[in-house]
Chain A
Amino acid sequence: MGFLHRHRGLTPYLLLAPGMLWLSIFFLVPLGFLAYQSLQSGSIDFGYAFTWAWGNYWDAIRSYRGQFERSILYAGIATVLALVLSYPVAYWIAFRGGRWKNLLLLFIVAPFFVTYLIRTLAWETILSDNGLVVRTLDHLHLLGVLGSNGRVLSTATAVVAGITYNFLPFMALPLYVSLEQIDQSLIEAAQDLYASKWKAFLRVTLPLSLPGVVAGTLLTFIPAAGDFINAQLLGSPKNHMIGNVIESKYKELLDYPAAASMSFVLMATILAAVLIYARAVGTEKLTG
């Protein structure tokens, strides 16, 4: 430790080294392969060769704009929904959870233990045209809210709902983590200071939990924009996202360069969205 004291400048690099080395070798190097692949041309029959085929990128943007936009839209709505749904619960666990906090946290991630497919099959049972939800709406003569289809499954609503549900823990846990460290006495002081609890919340609690909001929205939005399973299992052919296109380019069409270049376009789109967001909430909050 004496060494560290004398070379304080080194400490951050030592802390970073194991994690960053791991990501460099097992993520960045493969990403290099992917970049190389994205500039290839050819076909599966005759093989692919590197030709600086920048056209792949142009094709990706031109041909699949709709799916790109849909991905950003669905992921955006799902992120906002997840935030609104899970903030009160994260707050409740953080301030009222007491000794049950950890157990409650476990309940938040528990649905993941049963595997995506089984979870989705369960949702299909619940949302099915003859299932609980649709029948209840029918009894209440509320089927009209479902639109002309009269169904929940195989609609854009189901896709967004599926994404929201499946990404809730990514939102709730960071929110909890940052809410939990807020000093209760600070909130009480604020409640004494401001006329209403609500105002106290807006002026004190919310700003203090902002790091959690930022972390949660990023952990939800970024992976959600690349998701394809929800659209595949819960959507109709008109709800497919860019993740579905990349899947089919890679697996069915065996057009590896197209899949690679579309992935980069997707990453760039997501990073651009994140940057705009970072500007809006203040960069310092985002990068710490």
Chain B
Amino acid sequence: MTTVEATLPAPRSRLGPLARAWAFARHHLLSLYSLLFFAYLLLPIGVVIAFSFNNPKGRFNYTWQGFTFKNWSQWNGVPGLTSALWLSLEIALVASLVATVLGTLVALALVRYRFRGRGATNLLVFLPLSTPEIVLGASLLTLFLQVKFALGFISILIAHIMFCISFAVVTVKARLIGFDRHLEEAAMDLGANEWTTFQKVTLPLIAPAILAALLLCFAISIDDFVVTYFNAGNRVTFPIFVWGAARVATPPQINVIGTAIFVVAVTAMLGNVILQRRREVRA
């Protein structure tokens, strides 16, 4: 079972031309809807991008005042903004990786094995999701203070991994349930040990879930404000900077950087697709 490639429904000769036309329309209906959905999803990004070229005379970037490249050429012109961005990127990268690994292991245990304490484990996975952020952040800070743990990069990282794990567990679980165990059993019957089976069979099958969990954790981490604020000491992440600036200014450079992250991520993913395609062509 390989990943499903884009396949048009196989032509079925039984269908008359009318029905085929209807099927064709419906086929495109779904595509059309999906495009609309993405337009809706990316609409605010469009506004953000547009306003990165805005030329406000005051410090608030609220209404359209004219076109300029100035914000892009002076992307580094707001003290504190770039260092905040780098901090956020580092944290999001590490936190999403660690949380996804830990979450995947937990999901494997939960779906694959019958063991004592499954109920409690499930509860422990859902509880962090239902805890209001403010008390989550404050009580974690209490812990750090109790043990006199220095607040900064590490404490932010710990917090982010903590609230990302549950998202990873639930996402990967959605894949593992309804997963065909026979493939693994077949591999084992053929003499592969548990580790080899995991590497060669299980991992490729759950790879899409792992990627989804990574993306989700990255997004949650880079967007978090409340929990981070409590446990950041005097470090400033990108969201903390943006929320803080809002009282006196919304510099267009915030939009520039938001746009840049978006463009870089999309380009990287696009490059990956093209690279894969070339390899396939060569093969």
Chain A residues with CB under 8 Å of chain B are: 1, 4-5, 9, 11-13, 15-16, 18-20, 22-24, 26-31, 33-34, 37, 85-86, 88-89, 91-119, 121-123, 125-126, 165, 168-170, 173-174, 176-178, 180-181, 183-184, 188, 191, 197, 208, 210-212, 214-216, 218-219, 222-223, 225-226, 228, 243, 246-247, 250-251, 256, 259-260, 263, 266-267, 270-271, 274, 285, 287-288
Which residues from chain B contact A183 at a C-beta distance below 8 Å?
1
Chain B residues with CB under 8 Å of chain A are: 1, 3-7, 9-10, 23, 26, 30-31, 33-34, 37-38, 41-45, 47-48, 51, 62, 102-103, 105-113, 115, 118-119, 121-136, 138-140, 142-143, 158-159, 161-162, 165-167, 169-179, 193-195, 205, 208-209, 211-213, 215-216, 218-220, 222-223, 225, 238-239, 242-243, 246, 250, 254-255, 258-259, 261-262, 265-266, 269-270, 272-273, 276-277
Which residues from chain B contact A223 at a C-beta distance below 8 Å?
129-130
With A and B bound together, what is the CA distance between A209 and B143 in angstroms?
40
B128–A107 touching, CB < 8 Å = no
Closest residue of chain A to B128 (Cβ to Cβ) is: A27
Which residues from chain B contact A188 at a C-beta distance below 8 Å?
9-10
B265–A110 touching, CB < 8 Å = yes
A-B contact pairs, 15 of them (CB 8 A): A16-B109, A19-B102, A27-B140, A31-B139, A95-B4, A101-B3, A109-B216, A173-B215, A176-B208, A178-B174, A181-B205, A219-B129, A256-B138, A263-B135, A288-B107
A102–B211 touching, CB < 8 Å = yes
With A and B bound together, what is the CA distance between A256 and B137 in angstroms?
13
> Does more than half of chain B's interface fall in helix, strand or loop, or is it mixed?
helix
Partner of B167, one of A107, A170, A178: A170
B33–A109 touching, CB < 8 Å = no
What's the nearest-Cβ distance from chain B to residue A123, in Å? 6
Partner of A30, one of B125, B143, B220: B143
Partner of A181, one of B129, B167, B178, B261: B178
What's the nearest-Cβ distance from chain A to residue B179, in Å? 7
What's the nearest-Cβ distance from chain B to residue A1, in Å? 5
Which residues from chain B contact A27 at a C-beta distance below 8 Å?
124, 127-128, 131, 136, 140, 162
Given A33-B142, A119-B44, A174-B171, decide whether A169 and B261 contact each other with a Cβ distance below 8 A.
no
Nearest first, the 4 A-B pairs at minimum CB distance are: A98-B6, A114-B258, A30-B139, A112-B219
Which residues from chain B contact A119 at a C-beta distance below 8 Å?
44, 48
A246–B135 touching, CB < 8 Å = yes
B47–A122 touching, CB < 8 Å = yes
B142–A22 touching, CB < 8 Å = no
With A and B bound together, what is the CA distance between A237 and B213 in angstroms?
36
With A and B bound together, what is the CA distance between A176 and B115 in angstroms?
29
Given A15-B108, A173-B171, decide whether A112 and B135 contact each other with a Cβ distance below 8 A.
no
Closest residue of chain B to A215 (Cβ to Cβ) is: B174
With A and B bound together, what is the CA distance between A208 and B178 in angstroms?
7
Closest residue of chain B to A29 (Cβ to Cβ) is: B143
Which residues from chain B contact A9 at a C-beta distance below 8 Å?
115
Partner of A113, one of B37, B133, B265: B265
Which residues from chain B contact A91 at a C-beta distance below 8 Å?
30
What's the nearest-Cβ distance from chain B to residue A203, in Å? 15
With A and B bound together, what is the CA distance between A218 and B170 in angstroms?
9
Closest residue of chain B to A121 (Cβ to Cβ) is: B250
With A and B bound together, what is the CA distance between A119 and B43 in angstroms?
10
With A and B bound together, what is the CA distance between A55 and B37 in angstroms?
48
A12–B109 touching, CB < 8 Å = yes
With A and B bound together, what is the CA distance between A45 and B211 in angstroms?
50
Partner of B30, one of A88, A114, A117, A215: A88
B105–A19 touching, CB < 8 Å = yes
A126–B43 touching, CB < 8 Å = yes
B174–A212 touching, CB < 8 Å = yes
Which residues from chain B contact A225 at a C-beta distance below 8 Å?
130
